[in-house]
A and B are shown apart, each in its own frame.
Chain A
Amino acid sequence: DGGITQSPKYLFRKEGQNVTLSCEQNLNHDAMYWYRQDPGQGLRLIYYSQIVNDFQKGDIAEGYSVSREKKESFPLTVTSAQKNPTAFYLCASGLTDTQYFGPGTRLTVL
């Protein structure tokens, strides 16, 4: 089946540790995105990539890093520089007019 997968579903991290969230899509979409959602809030854009080996910062990129070595994959690393990383993280991929989302990863910092 075509779709977007994110792993893991739940992730726990100790303060000071980097952690990487996986996002894979088999929809043959060029563009991929990472969003952060805090409780009771909408989504905020962290990073996005329009094409392989290229990506741009979104509205809240500080403390995060990404790579786009393959069309299918867009991993997000939450670094120790991110002061408040506990949140729900959603990955999306899309065509010109629509974005489709994965099931999300819930990250908790202990």
Chain B
Amino acid sequence: AQKITQTQPGMFVQEKEAVTLDCTYDTSDPSYGLFWYKQPSSGEMIFLIYQGSYDQQNATEGRYSLNFQKARKSANLVISASQLGDSAMYFCAMKHRGSSASKIIFGSGTRLSIRP
């Protein structure tokens, strides 16, 4: 069965420092997609970054990068030069790619707090 694990319930980071949010996944499917979403206190889920299982290079979007280690089934999110506005819940998610049922499963989330 597919599963997403986020082992850090909460993290505190000093402003301007880089931060890594951990995510491991479990799947027996060769084709899948990995996502990170940000959820501020308003509740809306904001798409940050996507990595396909066959992508050769790690995905990057501005200050966000995904450290994809396929053999270790790891998809950590790296935020460079953290800002106060980065304080939010962060969810790692996985989609089974290629099936007719495009379902996404979510991890339990990590609450990131940026200190000024």
Q: Could you list which residues of chain A lie within 8 angstroms of chain B, going by C-beta atoms?
A: 31, 33, 40-45, 48, 50, 56, 58, 88, 90, 92, 94, 96-104, 106
B97 touches A97 (CB 8 A): yes
Chain A interface, DSSP helix/strand/loop, else mixed: strand
B91 touches A43 (CB 8 A): yes
Q: Complex: how many Å from CA A94 to CA B33?
A: 14
B44 touches A102 (CB 8 A): yes
Complex contacts, A50 vs chain B, CB 8 Å: 100-102
Complex contacts, A98 vs chain B, CB 8 Å: 35, 47, 50
Chain B, Cβ-Cβ closest to A99: B104
Using C-beta atoms within 8 Å of the partner chain, give the interface range for chain B.
20 to 34
Chain A, Cβ-Cβ closest to B107: A42
Max count, chain A CB within 10 A of own CB: residue among B43, B97, B105: B43
Q: Could you list which residues of chain B lie within 8 angstroms of chain A, going by C-beta atoms?
A: 4, 33, 35, 37, 42-47, 50, 52, 91, 95, 97, 100-109
Q: Complex: how many Å from CA A40 to CA B110?
A: 9
B50 touches A97 (CB 8 A): yes
Q: Contacts A42-B91, A97-B95 known; A103 to B106 CB distance under 8 Å?
A: no
Q: Complex: how many Å from CA A57 to CA B4?
A: 21
- From residue B27, how far is it (CB to closest CB) to chain A in Å? 16
Complex contacts, B101 vs chain A, CB 8 Å: 48, 50, 56
- From residue A4, how far is it (CB to closest CB) to chain B in Å? 9
- From residue A70, how far is it (CB to closest CB) to chain B in Å? 20
